[in-house]
Chains A and B, each alone.
Chain A
Amino acid sequence: MRKEIKITSIVLLVLVFSLLLSGSVLAQEEDRYGGTLNAALQMSVAHLDSDNSTDSMITAMMNHVYEGLFEFDKNLKVHPYLAQSYQVSENGLVYEVKLRENVMMHNGQTMNADDVVASFKRWLELNNGGKLVAPHFDQVEKIDQFNVRFTFNDPYAPFLNILASPVSNQKFVVRAEEVIDEFGTDVIDRHVGTGPYKYEEWVPDQKLVLTRFEDYTPSPRESSFFAGKRIPYLDKIVFNFIPDAQVRVSGVQTGQFHFAEEVPRDQYQIFEMDENIKNEIIYPDRMSMLIFNSSEAPFDNKYARRAIAYALDFEELGYAMIGDPQFWRLESALHEKGNPWHVPDAGEGIYGVYDPEKAKELLDRAGYDGQPLVILSGQDNQMERQGAIAIQDQLEKIGIEVELQLFDRPTVVEKRSKPDGWHMHLSPFIKVVPDPQIHQGWTGTNKWITNWDSKDSRQMDQIFAEMLREVNYEQRYKIVERMQAELWDSVPYFNILDYSRLHIRRTELKNFQAGWQPFFWNTYLE
């Protein structure tokens, strides 16, 4: 009897303690709520309708308002988000997606298949990503209130990756059907999504204000970057558009902003010394690409293009165009290490091999007549400007005459789209791409600005056509390996190195994770 009392009292004690403990945990959790976050972003946007633009800044902000059927986690693995689960038919033609039930939208209704179908049709018609899918797509239909079926004409392997794509607003997000009925293909300026924050106010070129959506329904999955549970601790998020980097920096230093995007990497040490500021280095998510004009001599010959890869000292370029080595790394593959499509031995024997003698030999073989080579590059971005100057220097060191043409971005875009007047162009690419098919838009016969039209380019077209149809990962990876090998053999363009961006935040902003686009759910102010 005594023993029982003892056991009972111990059990009771444990219970009381655990209750107290959970209470304090809950209280701590409660404490996190509240506050207004001020973030300084570097560029304003024209409008907030991601389907009607390729400006990825829109998605970066509207990720808080709209959510996708699928979203990427930290390791670039795609997870169902507004979708509960999905099934792909044996032949790869039919995707059946079951939606999460009871997900509230900002208009007070629950999200259902009608919203998804309406949003998807608009995405297919307007969005850059949708347009990639459209030629292979047959139809989207509602099975019942929470089930949707997507049917293709021919197998389209990158479908789910493109639905969640973090590149140029390609992501498919679910909007309320009523809004789509109201606006059709016009630019949407009334925003009804499912996200943790609601659209409140937008002052063009100045700021975007979002407020917490009180009835938000978080995903039950584990939180990781864009996938999983999102908790809106902050009452309000204000995105301020501050184009001048130094103004963003001093705003954080004085406490006006809690977060600043893309600040000068060379001031890293100064931020390090400031105890109120924390550096956030973004995983090398940009790569610098040297693009050749393959229709203009000498680069209409692949040996001349290869020669340039041998003529450049990539490491020296890293110091010149980016600076501190903790912000860049040499990488020969289009997909970074850790990405499922990373090809570790891409460009072996040519990437990073500095051999000016061989370069001269190859140029002779290509019949280069010593004419000055024109490098066309932007002058506003550090990588483009300093990279172009450094490349000119290195080529001149081995006796190649180079003419440097630096312009503002609109002029560069206009000039590079012409088939003549330039030989080389330096451009940043987004590294974090979820699917190798995306490169099809840039490489192949006459793709993008390359003016590449030869036996090799048609072979590249063939490789991409195969890649599109192959659903099996192992088989598809082999095709990606062939694509990389072809790319380093005929070199319509090549990646010099990967580099990181630097964001800074105040230390009172907690639980911030440095994603490829900044996001502020799960973060809180202390």
Chain B
Amino acid sequence: MLFLKKYNKYKHPYITASIIILIFLVFLSLFAPALTDYSPVRNNARNRLQPPSREHLLGTDQFGRDIFTRILYGIRTSMQVGLAVVLLTVIFGGVVGVAAGYYSQIDRVVMRILDAMMAFPGIIIAISLAAIWGAGKLNIILALSFAYFPKMARIVRSSVISIKDLDYVDSARAAGAKDSRIIVKYILKNSASPIMVQATFNFALAILDEAALSFLGVGIMPPAPSLGAMVTDARTYMVVAPWMILAPGIMIVLAVLSLNLLGDGLRDLLDPHLKNTFQK
């Protein structure tokens, strides 16, 4: 793998830091049930707004639910949404981008439509879709994917266009390779790095926007835990129970920061023009 090779060569500090944080977060979300004795949704309201203690590491919320537990499951939700959105945008954006980049007749129509879609900020499209379809995890995933895929398609398209006229593609075509073989074997493989970078940023953006949608009340439905919804709930209690807002807030920051760092690092590593801009 090109990436691993390059990483071994340069040891980019952004990537090291972000991967450590990401591994930590993935560990928390994967092993959530093993890390806590509490349920993320069961109430115990007589114990509401308890400060952090031995029983409740990060205190309890207004329903007496353990905040540590809710954070574990909240990260899980964030990761699920982020991963699903990234998969969907890569698939849809990839298909549309390759089609538009490779076949110029399709390009004219499709890219104008995508241009129109990109005229709106992604979060606005996502909010409107979530409002129309209703809240819920699946709807959030679809809404966010729909909002992000035009950009992905554009990036794939430009990379396809720059590659498709290169000599090795021409020689493959002269050797009689079919379009499908050229696209998969020569073009996609060589446009992997911008897709990877964009996918990483999308992952971070999806986590942030899921939190934003849940914060606005059109995201994950209560009582299911979501970091954004936890921040909304905590606003009222910010002064009396600051632990309620700090913990999910910090988690959102960690997740988004680590993914953005990873994206930046990947771009530095994989972009041939930028490879000398940082020193080992």
Residues on A close to B: CB < 8 A? 245-246, 264, 266-267, 269-270, 315-320, 323, 379, 382, 385-386, 389-390, 392-394, 397, 404, 406, 408
Contact = CB atoms under 8 A, between A and B. Distances in A.
A389 B63 CA distance: 9
B interface majority secondary structure: loop
Contact of A379 (B217, B235, B240): B217
Contact of B43 (A264, A318, A390): A390
A379 B229 CA distance: 12
B134 to A, nearest CB: 9
Contacts of B62: 266, 320, 323, 386
Contacts of A269: 240
Nearest to B135: A406
B67 to A, nearest CB: 16
Interface residues of B, number: 20
**A interface, over-half SS:** helix
Interface stretch (B44-52, B74-82, B91-99): B44-52
Contacts, number: 61
A404 B240 contact: no
Nearest to B46: A319
Interface centre among A323, A394, A406 (most CB of B within 10 A): A323
A298 B62 CA distance: 31
Contacts of B237: 266
B171 to A, nearest CB: 60
A369 to B, nearest CB: 24
B119 interface: no
B223 interface: yes
Contacts of A379: 217
B48 A319 contact: yes
Contacts of A382: 236
Given A267-B239, A270-B240, A316-B46, 5 more contacts: A264-B236, A266-B49, A319-B64, A392-B223, A406-B217
A393 B48 contact: no
Contact of B223 (A246, A266, A397, A404): A404
Contacts of B239: 267, 270
Contacts of B46: 315-316, 319
Contacts of A246: 235
A406 B48 contact: no
27 contacts: A245-B236, A264-B236, A266-B49, A266-B237, A266-B241, A269-B240, A270-B240, A315-B46, A319-B48, A319-B64, A320-B45, A320-B48, A320-B64, A323-B48, A323-B62, A382-B236, A386-B63, A389-B43, A390-B45, A393-B41, A393-B63, A393-B223, A404-B222, A406-B217, A406-B221, A406-B222, A408-B217
B234 to A, nearest CB: 11
Contacts of B63: 320, 386, 389-390, 393
